[in-house]
């Protein structure tokens, strides 16, 4: 996401008389689907990209590009859990509209401001599409697996061993504030995508990157084990001027979720007990985001200072809890218990606005808290729909019915007119082909003054 977040007035006016409310009975599938339908409609109210004057794939102001990627991932989940396909064509077109010239989610309209985490969340969205057999693009359009591999390859090419012994910077481009910061979410996206690609393709290169990126985050101290509580604490990041040794100790739910679900994928993929232990420790550490079993964003919600970005973090966390529960059956009961309590509380917050099902931020109040926005809709949607994982098959792979096609060298022509950095070797295990790929990034400024654009 962008390094600064100026709260601008929302374009959508949702105030007015309450005409209805979201009613939720988690034991009644029809009730759940009705609730999700209302909340999904509220989410889609923030999309005007298919209308005259709109930008395909982008949400309305003030929501940044990265959050659109999160929203489309949530709408894929909505279809998966409910079977309601009325939005599928819009979602598919939106995902393809922002792929960029080189099909790597570095579109021209974002390349002056895009960070590694921004690109990563679009990669997470298309991975979800591949694993759920969401309708594949046809003709010359790249398929979901290809797009996820392109995101991985371009991100991995930016691995920086000159500072802090490895890791990704927050920002891709030198002129953006945060270029000198290596944050957990960017590295978490790389780890998470690598873990899911490892399981989907059975390609050892992705296993190696998952191990490498996990080891770095622990070695640099961003993820700190506690022997006394048998848990992990996950910090936000650190600056390269301090060799990443001085940590911003804010705790964000989506950072925990990225690593928790990524470790769950590695657990399912390798059956290695170390990944099982890591999942358990991360889940134990995630207690910080629950109060009376109701989810909240601990770093900003108590103070009422959550910005537009942070207000969707619970939704990302909920999605990753659902995936973890699918992949690690021993944790399913505990995760579903907390998701269910949170979902019931979230539904009670979805009683605002002129539509009567605008969702709020604070789920403790038992009613709408006068907060509204894209993040609130994403969070309520994801926490409710992820209570429905029982009976759902685990995410698909090449070997279990996944139909999306990819390529080990996806993204290799990205920005080929600019500086080449690292070469990654993708072995022949990948169904779509393999080889040595060269991935490139911009490492300098395109012109005086560009640094001012963020």
For residue 396, the domain's CATH number is: 1.50.10.20
Residue 271 lies in a domain: yes
- Looking at residues 257-274, what average pLDDT do you find? 99
Confidence class of residue 277 from pLDDT cuts 50, 70 and 90?
Answer: very high
Token digits of residue 202: 């059975």
Residue 373 lies in a domain: yes
pLDDT of residue 20: 61
Check whether 347 has a pLDDT greater than 90: yes
Confidence class of residue 434 from pLDDT cuts 50, 70 and 90?
Answer: very low
Residue 3 lies in a domain: no
pLDDT of residue 265: 99
Distance CA 21, CA 248 (A): 40
Check: CB of residue 65 under 8 Å from CB of residue 396: no
Give pLDDT tens digits for 367-382.
999 999 999 999 999 9
Check whether 12 has a pLDDT greater than 60: no
Give pLDDT tens digits for 188-230.
999 999 999 999 999 999 999 999 999 999 999 999 999 889 9
pLDDT of residue 438: 30
Question: Where is pLDDT greater, at 294 or 447?
Answer: 294
For all residues of the chain together, what is the average pLDDT?
Answer: 89
pLDDT of residue 411: 84
Give pLDDT tens digits for 37-48.
999 999 999 999
Check whether 452 has a pLDDT greater than 90: no
pLDDT of residue 111: 78
**Cα 454 off chain centre by:** 21
Residue 153 lies in a domain: yes
Residue 448 lies in a domain: no
Residue 19 lies in a domain: no
Residue 26 lies in a domain: no
Give pLDDT tens digits for 222-260.
999 998 899 999 999 999 999 999 999 999 999 999 999
Check whether 429 has a pLDDT greater than 70: no
The residue segments making up the domain with residue 240 are 42-440
Residue 445 lies in a domain: no
**Cα 118 off chain centre by:** 9
Check whether 159 has a pLDDT greater than 60: yes
% of the chain at pLDDT higher than 70: 87
**Number of domains into which the chain is organized:** 1
Least confident of 64-73, 252-261, 335-344, 421-430: 421-430
Token digits of residue 127: 């991975």
Check whether 425 has a pLDDT greater than 50: no
Confidence class of residue 415 from pLDDT cuts 50, 70 and 90?
Answer: low
Distance CA 354, CA 358 (A): 8
């Amino acid at each position: 996401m962008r390094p600064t977040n100026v709260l601008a007035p929302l374009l959508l006016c949702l105030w007015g008389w309450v005409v209805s409310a979201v009613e939720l009975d988690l034991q009644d599938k029809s009730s759940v689907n009705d609730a999700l339908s209302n909340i999904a409609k509220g989410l889609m109210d923030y999309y005007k990209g298919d209308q005259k004057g709109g930008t395909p794939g982008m949400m309305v102001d003030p929501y940044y590009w990265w959050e659109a990627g999160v929203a489309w991932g949530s709408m894929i989940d909505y279809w998966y859990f409910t079977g309601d396909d009325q939005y599928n064509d819009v979602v598919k077109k939106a995902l393809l509209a922002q792929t960029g010239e080189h099909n790597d989610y570095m579109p021209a309209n974002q390349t002056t401001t895009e960070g590694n985490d921004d690109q990563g969340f679009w990669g997470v969205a298309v991975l979800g599409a591949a694993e759920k057999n969401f309708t594949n693009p046809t003709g010359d359009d790249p398929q979901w697996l290809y797009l996820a591999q392109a995101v991985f390859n371009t991100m991995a090419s930016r691995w920086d061993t000159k500072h802090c012994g490895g890791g990704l910077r927050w920002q891709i481009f030198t002129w953006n504030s945060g270029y000198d910061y290596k944050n957990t979410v960017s590295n978490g996206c790389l780890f998470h995508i690598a873990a899911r690609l490892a399981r989907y393709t059975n390609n050892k290169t992705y296993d190696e990157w998952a191990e490498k990126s996990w080891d770095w985050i622990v070695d640099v101290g961003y993820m700190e084990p506690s022997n006394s509580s048998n848990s992990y604490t996950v910090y936000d990041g650190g600056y390269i001027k301090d060799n990443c040794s001085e940590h911003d100790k804010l705790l964000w739910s989506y950072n925990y979720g990225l690593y928790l679900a990524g470790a769950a994928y590695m657990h399912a993929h390798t059956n290695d007990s170390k990944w099982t232990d890591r999942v358990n420790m991360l889940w134990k550490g995630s207690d910080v985001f629950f109060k009376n079993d109701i989810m909240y964003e601990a770093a900003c919600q108590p103070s009422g200072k959550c910005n537009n970005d942070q207000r969707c973090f619970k939704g990302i966390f909920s999605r990753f809890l659902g995936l973890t529960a699918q992949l690690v059956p021993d944790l399913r009961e505990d995760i579903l218990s907390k998701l269910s309590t949170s979902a019931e509380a979230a539904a009670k917050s979805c009683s605002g606005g002129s539509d009567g099902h605008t969702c709020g931020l604070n789920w403790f109040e038992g009613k709408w808290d006068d907060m509204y926005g894209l993040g609130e809709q994403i969070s309520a949607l994801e926490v409710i729909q992820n209570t429905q994982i029982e009976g759902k098959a685990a995410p698909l792979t090449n070997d279990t019915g996944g139909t999306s096609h990819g390529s080990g060298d996806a993204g290799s022509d990205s920005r080929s007119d600019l500086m080449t950095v690292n070469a990654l070797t993708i072995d022949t295990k990948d169904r779509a082909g393999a080889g040595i790929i060269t991935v490139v990034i911009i490492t300098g400024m395109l012109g005086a003054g560009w640094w001012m654009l963020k």
